[in-house]
Structures are given as C-alpha cells and as structure tokens.
Amino acid sequence: MDKGKTKHNTEQQILEAARTVFIRKGLDGARMQEIADEAGINKALLHYYFRSKEKLFNHIFENALADIFEIINQSIHEEGDVYVFIETFVDHYLTILKKNPFIPNFIFNEINSHPERIGLFSRKIKLNIPGFIRMTEQNIAQKKMISMPPEHLIIDLLGMCVFPYVAKPLLEDVFFRDHPAGADNFLYERKQHIIYFFKKALQPKQ
C-alpha cells in the first residue's frame, strides 16, 4: 500500500472528524480524545498528525478561510457584471459556511482576542480589493447599478450571508422552536433571498 496515500487518507479522516466535533462542541468544548474517537483512531496517532487541538482547529480554519478568500477573488472580474459576481459569491460562500458553520463565530472571537492572527492571514492570502472596486465603479459608470461605495457593497454582502450563522441559536429559539428543521430550510432559502434582494436593491430607477 502507498504510504503517502495512507498518510493523506488518515489526515483527511482526522480533519473530517475534527470538523464534525468542532461544529458540535466548538473550539473550547472539543476534546482531542473525542476527535480521535470520531476518527476511529487512537489519541497517540492523532497527536502524531496534530500536536494540539488548537493546531488542528487552525489548520481547518485557515483552509476554510483560504477557500472563502479564493472564492471572492475568483468572483471578481474587473470588466464583469456585478450581478454575476453577487450570485457566484453568495452561492459559493454560503456553501462553505454550511460545511463549516463554526467559521463566523471563530473569526469574531479571533478579531476580539487575537486580531494579529487575522491580520497576518489576510496579508498572506490577499483579497483583490482593487479589482472589486474597479468592477463596482465600472458597473456604476455603465448605469447597471446605483451609485454606492464599493466597501459598503462587500460588507452588506458579507453581513447578510454571515448573520444567520452567527445568530442561528437565536433564530432557532425565536422562529423555529416548535419545528427545528425549519432553521435548516431557512438557511437553504437564504441564498436565493440574498441574490434576489441585491438584484432589486442595486437596480437604478428607470
């Protein structure tokens, strides 16, 4: 058997198990033994691959955040249509959040407790903000969308995508107490709602 392939499979098995436990318990509540049990391996082998819970979480977090940054950058085309950007961004971003629902709260915690980590990571994987600004300005100049500062557009997009995941416990208690499955249906519907909202909100008045 290919040792390299076996190592890769074991590492992926650990990462998937850890993601499951982190979603269920969060960073503080998760335990290495629980992750090892979820992965079907012993704790010593888990420590061989990842020496601590924090290193394991950071690995998952950085990969997920890198995927988000990559999606944003791939969605930006300086000569592109802003509505195509919105649809692509929302679709891919919410797909990643569904797979990694712990990301928003972890980012907020990191911003509050270790802002330097987010800064270092954002400098390592740069967002194409200049390209996004030029794309937005181009669409405004072509009267495809109303005039608005590009930074407000990206923050509005992020906020509408992220908030339901940050506030999911509140949503479940307030709106879906009697039918818990409704929260998952709501998050599924959210994607189309956000796309529709922005397409209507950004259209110039005739």
Identify the domain containing residue 67 by its residue range: 53-202
Same domain, 63 and 158: yes
Same domain, 43 and 72: no
pLDDT grade for 179, boundaries at 50, 70 and 90: confident
Tens-digit pLDDT profile for residues 123-167: 776 778 889 999 999 999 999 999 999 999 999 998 999 888 888
Tens-digit pLDDT profile for residues 78-131: 788 999 999 988 988 888 888 777 777 777 776 777 677 667 766 776 778 889
Same domain, 44 and 78: no
Same domain, 31 and 75: no
H helices within the chain, ranges in order?
A: 3-29, 32-39, 43-49, 53-75, 82-99, 103-113, 115-124, 129-141, 150-166, 168-174, 181-202
Question: What does the pLDDT read at residue 99?
Answer: 79
Reply yes or no on whether the pLDDT at 1 is more than 50.
no
CATH number at residue 65: 1.10.357
pTM of the predicted model, to two decimals?
Answer: 0.72
